[in-house]
Structure 1
Amino acid sequence: MYQTTYHRPSSVAEAVRMLGEAADGKFLGGGQTLIPTMKQRLAAPSDVIDLRHIAELKGITVSGRDVRIGAGTTHEEVANHSGLAAVCPAICYLAGHIGDPHVRHMGTIGGSISNNDPAADYPSAMLALNAMIHTSKRALSADEFFTGLFGTALDEDEIVTAVSFTAPEKAGYAKFPNPASRYALTGVFVAKRPEGVRVAVTGAGEDGVFRATAIENALSRSFEPSVLDGIAMPADGLMSDIHASAEYRANLIVVMAKRAVQAANG
């Protein structure tokens, strides 16, 4: 690891100021991506600004079906929040199957969506839930926030502070995990509302998380796994790597969508 200067701000405003004063600073959420990258000398920020101790970034609020999750909330806290489980158990399930216990106790929802790894779980939930991403400057819909592979609409000095959404009537998540990392080879989050169904896919797209409109249209007609029989997702635009081919991932999208719907229906 290259030499760096560590900072521990106590507020979002202080963190933004510290970044502005740094030659090449980086924000640290849970550290599950940045720290390993620094250890491998693939990143060498002059300053690391640790967001983990900022109180205003923490906590989960559930009011009726309206949910707000602070960006500094860990996966473990999301997984075990009883109020959240009462209105949207799918996101608790998702959080409880991220990585291993170490990752779940350190990693944060804000860090995950800010990094937008193509195999991360949370981006699919945010997109399917039509969540709002709140930052130190503004609020963006998930459709606006995720812009491509490891890409977001965040400015360099912008910090995700919270996510919010209204819990749908039903939601479910299913993924085919890499057996070593627990990253999604393919994961599908489905959310049903009176106005229709949103379906988001992670782990499969060459350009990161995306919505599966063909599956959305089918499930909007009937929210049952059987309506997906015969649907074939195209392999164009899907990843091929040492873990799975694009064709295999195309098949997994439908299989995981069926399992997600089954989970949503209880």
Structure 2
Amino acid sequence: MTLNKVVDSAADAVSDIPSGASLAVGGFGLAGIPWFLIEALLEQGADDLTIVSNNCGVDGAGLGLLLEARRISRVIASYVGENKEFARQYLAGELTVELTPQGTLAERMRAGGSGIGAFFTPTGVGTLVADGGLPWRYDTDGSVALASPPKEVRTFNGRQMLLEESIVTDYALIRAAVADRAGNCVFHAAARNFNPPAAMAGRITVVEAEQVTEVGELHPDAVHLPGVFVQRVVALTPQQAARKSIEKRTTRSKESAR
């Protein structure tokens, strides 16, 4: 029997996500983010969410919408980016933020999806990442209310490495260029960033796909994410699939380019 993981809408796909859930979310800046799943979750109303993502969107878009609505209580990310509300909530003591080296974050999600409990990496040795003391949450007076703990450091082949725990989340929200009905996914260009490891980290992974094909139409060598990691597929309309905003457009005049 052929698997069919396609659901009717983004709203149906996120309808069972409860308050207090943890979610891995794909994308980098605004490239490859699951626009419509995020907006459906905003409408759904779940709050007290833990978000694991490279960043937390921008003001007025992506995960920034959930931040502005005070739906997120904790973020595990690589950087704050250009989201002023993200920075404001963090510095005001309204949000717990666990900043993690970018490659380490990707590997923590991939390892979680692979059944690996933890791994050793040289990234962060000799810094607060290893020694502890990174501000995870500030108090209202600007003092540190919660700081990162120290991590185990061991030596392998003469090189010091620290122990990083893997990440497994309740749900994952990702976006793909193409997915078949069994959930096998193909990502386009820069959208193949945090989407595959985020998908692997989720116990229930939902993908919004710009195009949905029948099982067997994707060549096996073209698949970037096997369908075993995906539980639900949302087919976007052509109009929805065309929505691909960017964070900042930089141009110069023809005269200055000469």
Query: Is the pair's TM-score, using the shorter chain for normalization, greater than 0.5?
Result: no
Query: What TM-score results when the alignment is normalised by the length of structure 1?
Result: 0.25
Query: What TM-score results when the alignment is normalised by the length of structure 2?
Result: 0.26
Larger fraction in helix: 1
**Rg (Cα) greater in structure:** 2
